[in-house]
Structure 1
Amino acid sequence: MKKSFFSTVLLVFFSTIYAIGQTGGSVEWPAYGNDPGGMRFSPLKQINASNVKQLTVAWTFRTGELEQYKGSNADEKAAFEATPLMVDGTLFFSTPSSRVFAVDAATGTKKWSYDPEVYFRQDFSEVTSRGVSIWPAVGDNTAANAPKRILIPTLDGRLIALDAKTGQPIKTFGNDGTVDLRQGVGNISVTSPPAVIGNTIVVGSSMGDNQRFNYERGVVRAFDALTGKLRWSWDPIPRTQTDAGFETWKGASATQTGAANAWSVISADAGRDLVFIPTTSPSPDYYGGERLGKNANASSIVAIRASTGKVVWSFQTVHHDIWDYDNAAQPLLFSFTQNGKIVPAVAVGTKMGHVFILHRETGAPLLPVQERPVPASKIPGEEAHPTQPFPATLPLLGLQKPEAWGPTPEAKVQAQQRISSLYYEGPFTPPSLQGSLIAPGNVGGINWSGMCYDPESGLLITNVNRLAAAITLIPRAKLSESVKNDQALMRAETGMQSGTPYVVKRSYLFARDEQGLSMQTAPPWGTLAAINLKKGSLEWEVPLGFMYDPRKYPESRQWGSINFGGAIATAGGLVFVAASLDGHFRAFKTSDGSLQWEVPLPAGGQATPMTYQLNGKQYVVIAAGGHAKLGTKLGDYVVAYQLP
């Protein structure tokens, strides 16, 4: 164990020394979360709290993405969520249409681009790509002389390997540079970059929600980085009696259940030969009568041996998930100090606002976890699990107890009436025929935006949503009558949940008015929070962004905003984040959460930023392309900031 731990520490140390020692004092950002374990921390400190207010635009690059959507409805689902990589003085990133760009990191000048020509008239649930990966991973000396490859998983289910220098497909990879991920699986997409560990590429999948119970299988697969050949495949759902956890999937139809897929970012620990898979709820999200039981491996963090595909351990964050509580955040690998000893750990942040700290090698909780009683389901055919895991000592984030609110007295009365009409018995209130208030809702808590960790202060930092959902199950036989008599249900999202007795209607606790969204639960609706893992307490929590016009509602800056897109931390004592609906990019002081800098972006900033140093100068970069479903301004910008 010690050998493995210290070998990993040395690998990180020498990788950092290698990066700093490059020409001109370059420090790269070689993976989605900077390191393969997703800490999203940079050792750079040229930009710090004393000078961050001086940041100016260094360059702006435009991808021409909106032109790609013409003749389709892609602009109704598109979100520019990519985090660029910086390696060898070049930025590599993808657009929502899975196009890949290589841009000079100093000037923002295009070096090359590649278009996989995704056909947009397919029925995509989301039109997005959170980024690309690079092989070999930085610090992997086993392939030190190999030409670098950019790996792009596409919206239409392909994995493509490109030459990092030219952008041309590697012909010896798969079929002329492409592996068909839909072969033998079905109609899947991939929206997050794959994990790279040695010569193995590990990739998950994304699929729509709530249309039927027997969705595509949520397999996680590993491919050879050189040839593209399949090395192993792992299905989160046990299909035979010999599969581990089979007894926790009950009912004649349980083995036909789909999903439990990994659509978020997978973390890797090369020193331990482990990948950490964040799995989702099984299909459909809001009714589990066809898959009774605990549903092992679904809504879990699963550690898998990268060389063999064998499960090492599994920790379930939600038992029998009927709330769409996917594990959306990348598992964060870091060193945790316990009883004076350094322990390899993984931090798990969930949509419920729970943070679990687990031993990286065993999955055992390093901080106490309690199984607490939760409400039973009143739906015929459903059996909610009687208990759910809660962190016993860490603070709970997100909306835990909804209170009615409105910008006017009349709006507040309407909010109170709506809340009173819904069934609510606290956290993990199950869906109901009456309509249930679910808090936190399925957007978090902590969503795909994820967390970052500052090892110098011991602070785990994350942006948080505080938005409740209203979930109603309608007996299929009564669907027409129910919808006809309820205008609110007509406006809600519909999931047919074919193969089950119920259709689901989902809406959120806001109304539409001249402001756009009129929230019906008390603010703040979005925050940036820091948990002190040395003390096990909330260090600070501050509002993130605003949703109402500050000229009309000056206090709206204290109300926060719904947010998508993560934060990064730097040794300069700063946390950079955009994410909010107001279209600003901000820097907060790591120690106390005080706002240090904010600037408007040319389009919505629903992406996680990154930072790097090149030729002795530090840059901070963010993709600003908006989020159609959230209603933020669409665009095609990548913006870099620097000190004068």
Structure 2
Amino acid sequence: MTLTSRSGPLLWTTAVLFFLLGLAMAMGGVWLALLGGSFYYLIAGAGVIATAWLVLRQRRAALWFYALVLTGTVVWSLFEVRFDWWQLVPRIAVWLALGVWLLLPWLHRRLLIGSARTASYGQASLPLWLAVVLAVVVGGVGFFTDYYTMAGAVPEASMAASTAADAPGVAPNDWVAYGRSAYGDRYAPAKQITPANVAQLQVAWTFHTGDLKGAGDPTEIANEVTPLKANGKLYICTPHNIVIALDPDTGKELWRYDPKINRDAKTYQHMICRGVAYYDSSIYPASSTAAVAPKPTPKGAVAMEAIHFDSCPRRIFAPTADATIVSINADNGQPCTDFGERGVIGLYQGMSMTQRGFLNPTSPPLVTQHVLIVSASVTDNDSTNEPSGVIRGYDIDTGRLLWNWDAANPEETAPLQPGQTYKRNSPNSWSVSSADEKLGLVYIPMGNQTPDMWGGDRYPEGERFNSAIVALDIATGKLRWVYQTVHHDLWDMDIGGQPSLVDLDRPEGKVPALIASTKRGDLYVLDRRDGKLIVPAPEQAAPQGAAEGDHSAATQPFSQLSFKPERALRESDMWGTNPFDQLVCRIKFKQLRYDGIFTPPSERGSLVYPGNYGVFDWGGITIDPVRQVLVGNPNYMAFVSKLYRRDQVDAKGGTGIEHGLQPMTGTPFAVDLQPLLSPLGIPCQAPPWGYVAAVDLKTMQKVWMHKNGTVVDNAPLPIPLPLGVPSLGGAIITGGGVAFMSASLDYYLRAYDVRTGKTLWESRLPAGGQATPMSYVSDQSGRQYVVIMAGGHGSLGTKMGDTLIAYALPQTAAPAK
């Protein structure tokens, strides 16, 4: 094959380009076809190679042949993805650009010179022009087509509701617990900020904690704190567990307490503080600053002592990464030395495994009238020799242990005797619990007995508590009921979000309910009195064929209120920025085992969708109890779980974070956990990946769902393409009918109309906002504030920072005190 003397470098370069692109397509296409995938890539690659040959020969047939390639590509794309713009682009854009290149006059004329007979430009190029026009028209239609938005609205009658339905024990202006109250609804009743004026929000003040990532810190360091507002102050904690009190109107630092945690432990998997807990003894008549008579001792509990606690009538309870709970005077930041051992409870007490870093309370404890309830995370997937996941209840005044509930020994709740230890490696709870003190129950969102991806030797006693909501008696720690959301969990589908409590308006009247959001996307609506389902969740058959020595549950519960993916992933759902990385993703997909949701982990590599990143994770949901509306931020990201036999890996290897190679020492396997990504590091599945959505709790139906966030902070070029990106963190709802959220991977705090989901306002953040905001009204100025921590997230790769930002309406827009 030779060029004529009239060819020149332009035709030669064009032919080489077409040949290389076609060769890459054809070779990858052969691989995909052998895996049982689409033949398109092989056929299209061969067509592009043929076009290269004709270009070299200076034949106008190159234009006609390439018109067939481009037309075939458009037709195939419509068959696979309809008019979905973001899926059409990687399929068509490159081939459209090459078609336009062939039509350029300086190239086109050279092709005509080499033809056997002369032809006009129009005659020779008409088929390709038609193919180009077809591609442009299809793309244009796709640009204005949206298959993913659910446009709807909460009924006007619900939005107009005004009956007070605030959580008990919380002043309207305050935010006294992680979820605002022990109900965990994340609802602030203040109504100053409305859809009509939210666009006027402006920065009222900023505060820098000064606590940034250090050289020896783990990758998974994050600022996930939700501040508290109580006692006329704001309270926050930092990744290194420094507790800071601020003036709510100015952000001025009032005091700071540094527990000086041990930062030397290389075994820390996380360095995170999601928040602190607040206790005010004056709220409870039985716990005043005067002497307290001994409380009646419920059966199975330890008696609480009569004490004086004048020195710390208001307390902050703060968790630390080196496994302690610290009690601090909320007024001045001094340790409450009458609590525990000089103000500290050590959580390794009673543990037989005491290696630092393996027990880490990343979430705040739960405050009730008399009992401080404490749980902690353990290191995921490291080994079968981990600390116990025991849940403990302490006298809130003295720090004395009252009861302990261990999922591997659930009937024995009396405090351990000297020399006794809790069972190693029992199921834990790493998130935030909720409580209904009227019912006397605490609701624990349970994790799993680690390792997560192989469960052949789990405790029979504790199996039913993995990935479950457990209701315990606050006074005694005794089990009252349990509801399991995943049987024999092999996918890390534990419950990360705080259960939210709400009194539902039902035909039979008000029903005290609990709503648990889950990583798999199901929302479990339970009667919180007895754990019975309000919304049905029938059992359905699940895929079988677990790894050697393990088993899969025959069925799994599927709630009828759910944001789980509407269908299983298909090869056509694989995505990319161009046809080549999309081809690689399709090959990856066909190489993996995938039988739909609950495909067991395998040595081949199993596709986990939704992945353990979670449709909902620790950000949970927010509920407006007045309007009976739920808002959340569902995510859709596929992961790969691949098992390696013990002799294939170094048991002491691993990344030290929750993704990558995890040793699972003590089991026959290690596991590699990775998101399903293209060679360019973008998700292999097509967008959208993240939404904001709402449910009408009166009908238990979704009312709206919108893509949320852009790729401006994640793409090579800072272009704010509105693809809908993943989020990590939660939303809040305010009494004015506005929801706020900042959790998306782009750096914005956004406001949404609760009725329609429309984005009303957004503010650029200086770093990642992977936290849950909060809102309060100042006792001094009467202004309503919305506050968010912009501190970033190490393992997600968002920009790190230390900035707490408060927003408010202009002074003239806020009512006087």
Return the TM-score normalized by structure 2.
0.71
* CA pair 522-168 structure 1, distance change in 2 beyond 3 A: same
- Correspondence for 1:32: 178
Matches within 5 A, 1:563-642: 563-614=727-778, 615-642=781-808
> Is 1:356 equivalent to 2:499 in the alignment?
no
Q: Secondary structure at the match of 1:64?
A: coil
Q: How many Å apart are 1:407 and its aligned residue?
A: 1.9
1:200 corresponds, among 371, 382, 385, to: 371
Q: How many Å apart are 1:455 and its aligned residue?
A: 2.0
Matches within 5 A, 1:26-425: 27-66=173-212, 69-74=213-218, 76-122=219-265, 123-136=267-280, 139-143=283-287, 145=289, 147-185=313-351, 186=354, 187-238=358-409, 258-291=425-458, 295-391=463-559, 393-398=560-565, 401-402=568-569, 403-425=573-595
Distance 1:369 1:80 in 2: 35
Q: How many Å apart are 1:435 and its aligned residue?
A: 0.4
Deviates more, 1:606-615 or 1:411-420: 411-420
Q: How many Å apart are 1:70 and its aligned residue?
A: 3.4
Distance 2:448 2:723 in 1: 31
Number of aligned residues: 601
Distance 1:550 1:203 in 2: 37
Q: How many Å apart are 1:581 and its aligned residue?
A: 1.1
Greater helix proportion? 2
Q: How many Å apart are 1:139 and its aligned residue?
A: 4.8
Distance 2:765 2:394 in 1: 38
Q: How many Å apart are 1:338 and its aligned residue?
A: 2.4
Deviations 1:218-275 (A, max 9, x none): 0000111111110111111237xx779xxxxxxxxxx976142111001111111111
* CA pair 438-340 structure 1, distance change in 2 beyond 3 A: same
Q: How many Å apart are 1:143 and its aligned residue?
A: 2.9
- Correspondence for 1:465: 635
1:538 corresponds, among 672, 697, 702, to: 702
Q: How many Å apart are 1:510 and its aligned residue?
A: 1.6
Q: How many Å apart are 1:400 and its aligned residue?
A: 5.1
Q: Secondary structure at the match of 2:359?
A: coil
* CA pair 309-378 structure 1, distance change in 2 beyond 3 A: closer
1:430 corresponds, among 600, 616, 626, to: 600
* CA pair 15-196 structure 1, distance change in 2 beyond 3 A: closer
* CA pair 340-410 structure 1, distance change in 2 beyond 3 A: same
- Correspondence for 2:73: none
Q: How many Å apart are 1:337 and its aligned residue?
A: 2.3
Q: Secondary structure at the match of 1:296?
A: helix
Distance 1:558 1:144 in 2: 54
Deviates more, 1:131-140 or 1:348-357: 131-140
Q: Is the 8 A contact 2:165 2:625 kept in 1?
A: no
- Correspondence for 2:675: 508
Greater strand proportion? 1
Deviations 1:47-82 (A, max 9, x none): 11111111111000111001xx434134x3210001
* CA pair 557-340 structure 1, distance change in 2 beyond 3 A: farther
Distance 1:629 1:551 in 2: 17
Deviations 1:140-160 (A, max 9, x none): 343355620011011111111
| 2:362 partner amino acid | T
Q: Secondary structure at the match of 1:384?
A: coil
Distance 2:718 2:335 in 1: 53
Q: Is the 8 A contact 1:135 1:196 kept in 2?
A: yes
Instruction: Choose between structure 1 and 2 for higher RCO, CA contacts under 8 A separated by at least 6 residues.
Output: 1
Instruction: Give unpaired runs (5+ residues) of structure 2.
Output: 1-162, 290-309, 414-421, 811-817
| 2:280 partner amino acid | P
- Correspondence for 2:666: 499
Deviations 1:99-145 (A, max 9, x none): 00000001100000000001212121111000111113785343355
Distance 1:551 1:371 in 2: 41
Q: Is the 8 A contact 2:380 2:452 kept in 1?
A: yes
Distance 1:202 1:56 in 2: 38
Q: Is the 8 A contact 1:89 1:106 kept in 2?
A: no
Deviates more, 1:549-558 or 1:345-354: 549-558
Q: How many Å apart are 1:297 and its aligned residue?
A: 1.1
* CA pair 279-137 structure 1, distance change in 2 beyond 3 A: farther
Q: Is the 8 A contact 1:53 1:596 kept in 2?
A: yes
Instruction: Give unpaired runs (5+ residues) of structure 1.
Output: 1-8, 21-26, 245-254, 484-490
Q: How many Å apart are 1:479 and its aligned residue?
A: 3.8
Q: How many Å apart are 1:572 and its aligned residue?
A: 1.0
Q: Is the 8 A contact 1:568 1:610 kept in 2?
A: yes
Identical pairs, percent: 38
Q: Secondary structure at the match of 2:360?
A: coil
| 1:133 partner amino acid | A
Deviations 1:510-533 (A, max 9, x none): 2353xxx41111111111111222
Distance 2:515 2:425 in 1: 27
Q: Secondary structure at the match of 2:558?
A: strand
Q: Is the 8 A contact 2:691 2:725 kept in 1?
A: yes
- Correspondence for 2:138: none
Q: How many Å apart are 1:503 and its aligned residue?
A: 1.0
Q: How many Å apart are 1:443 and its aligned residue?
A: 0.9
| 1:148 partner amino acid | R
Distance 2:281 2:165 in 1: 11
Q: Is the 8 A contact 1:257 1:282 kept in 2?
A: no
Q: Secondary structure at the match of 2:286?
A: helix
Distance 1:400 1:91 in 2: 44
* CA pair 13-64 structure 1, distance change in 2 beyond 3 A: closer
* CA pair 199-550 structure 1, distance change in 2 beyond 3 A: closer
Q: Secondary structure at the match of 2:589?
A: helix
| 1:430 partner amino acid | P
| 1:395 partner amino acid | S
Deviates more, 1:255-264 or 1:446-455: 255-264
Q: How many Å apart are 1:540 and its aligned residue?
A: 1.0
Q: How many Å apart are 1:38 and its aligned residue?
A: 0.3
* CA pair 414-548 structure 1, distance change in 2 beyond 3 A: farther
Deviations 1:320-364 (A, max 9, x none): 111111110001111112223111010011000000100111000
| 1:38 partner amino acid | G
Distance 2:649 2:636 in 1: 30
* CA pair 153-479 structure 1, distance change in 2 beyond 3 A: closer
RMSD over aligned Cα, in angstroms?
2.5
